[in-house]
Structure 1
């Protein structure tokens, strides 16, 4: 008998979502979602679901869940969605929407395990565009067991381990999506801004050339991150500065920035030099 030929069956390929530079564009609290996804250690944020979903379930976005899981349905039915996860299937907004949709279909007290969801609805399709984001910065991850009468030893151990990596963080109140943090002995302000990147960089250059980019004598702009299609300017505090002392200066800076954004005159030589310097101090977060 001749050898029987074997035909290798290729696994079905999942269609991928097209790339979107601004992952959370159009969502309430776009800038805060970027911050919680990328650098705020412990925080939660709530947003409402679209009425078309016909559900009374609520959704809470969490910076980090136990084991960096994609999500879980709490005993009270609330869906918790993990933002800082190990997976990325090409479109973060699609991934998060798939977690919510799965959470709506499974019973309370269940962990959500996400596989590549393929093409489908994004967060923009399931979140109510008229809802307002409510961010709650936490000192640690003890909130994981809120409402649970008898947490397991594994959960307690996970909380203790996670709390060891939490850096003190404060969200400013007078401006949106600006987060003071202390990393070791140094303090920084990281401020996610909703403006188009080139326009914001140009406006920051105008302020730098005019000596108006600081948030105080000892709080200097040192560069920016680029994350999810947005810039995140970063200020370094040369002397210890509590978050509350940045409230007024940040609000005043926001006013100067809006004026600079509205300025359409050509950049001077000094301003172009400042822009090049700021562009060279950008780090892309992936």
Structure 2
């Protein structure tokens, strides 16, 4: 019987297997992404909103809060007010209303290797656009040296206090009726919305239908946060009380987002105090790590927590 020989995939001049995931982070194979376009590969910025006081809120608004808006404190020279929104009609990157007020969307159709730069491009566009203009998508690099980031355009010390909405009626100025594609987009968005409430800084109660969740974006370095969570878990203090269970965590834009399953029969506000108490315990556990290493039981708890992690960005 003739021996079967292994067929090796050819590599590109960059040494990349065309069938492997594209290093740009798009999730596509290299041959269907940068290998097809011939464009340069940029390593994704792991923590695009780092350095901003509102980092955790920005991540929440981009990843899982359905309908919310927040004002931006700009450091650039302009008379125009700008509102940052979770999602705009037809997932537009930005728009300017007839009255000159501007909106920038976080949940957009395309993105580059740096989310902060994408948002900054949309922000720069709305500052210069005419009333009635809409930016459907943020395009690729417009020119060499186009590196303005959100950190360059807003006050890095300004906290964000998002306003959550039960639907997307805020898309339109008061008294204006939707029509055409905007009306269709509005109807679809309202049908898909999941009830969500903010019960603390970057902490959101979400009704997912069969159960409710607490999704809490945390600013601490992942490894340190995991140690603190493990310490609480080993003590039986990781829950929010009866009707709650720690479900796991996911990584988003360089930080960890712990998630708890909650009894959806209880109102969101009933979880506010338990969340505050959990936050206090977590802060104490984080502080104790400086002096007391994990015990063997806490290390086992840490290993169990690591097994319940996923990465979405």
TM-score by length of 1: 0.89
Runs of 5+ consecutive residues of structure 1 not aligned to the other structure: 1-11
**For 1:156, which of 166, 183, 196 is the aligned residue?**
183
Give me the whole-angstrom Cα distance separating, in 2, the residues matched to 1:82 and 1:105.
16
Aligned-pair RMSD on alpha carbons?
1.9
Give me the whole-angstrom Cα distance separating, in 2, the residues matched to 1:157 and 1:278.
42
After superposing the two structures, state which structure 1 stretch, 127-136 or 249-258, moved more: 127-136
In the other structure, the counterpart of 1:4 is: none
1:91-110 to structure 2, matched below 5 A, reads 91-110=114-133
Q: Output one character per residue of 1:66-108: Cα deviation in whole Å (capped at 9) or x when no partner.
A: 1111111122222211111120111000000011111111101
Q: Output one character per residue of 1:166-196: Cα deviation in whole Å (capped at 9) or x when no partner.
A: 0111101xx3111001111211110111111
Q: Output one character per residue of 1:41-72: Cα deviation in whole Å (capped at 9) or x when no partner.
A: 1111222100xx22121221111111111111
8 Å CA contact 1:14, 1:116 repeated in 2: no
1:60-71 to structure 2, matched below 5 A, reads 60-71=83-94
In the other structure, the counterpart of 2:276 is: 251
Q: CA deviation at 1:158?
A: 1.6
8 Å CA contact 1:45, 1:133 repeated in 2: yes
Q: CA deviation at 1:226?
A: 0.6
Q: Secondary structure at the match of 2:205?
A: strand
Q: Secondary structure at the match of 2:248?
A: strand
In the other structure, the counterpart of 1:3 is: none
Go from structure 1 to structure 2 and tell me whether the alpha carbon gap of 1:182 and 1:72 turns closer, same or farther (over 3 Å shift).
same
Does residue 192 of structure 1 match 2:224?
no
Which has the higher relative contact order, 1 or 2, with Cα contacts under 8 A spaced 6 or more apart?
A: 1
8 Å CA contact 1:187, 1:241 repeated in 2: no
Task: State how many pairs are aligned.
Answer: 271
Q: Moved runs in structure 1, 4+ residues, more than 6 A?
A: 12-17
Does residue 212 of structure 1 match 2:212?
no
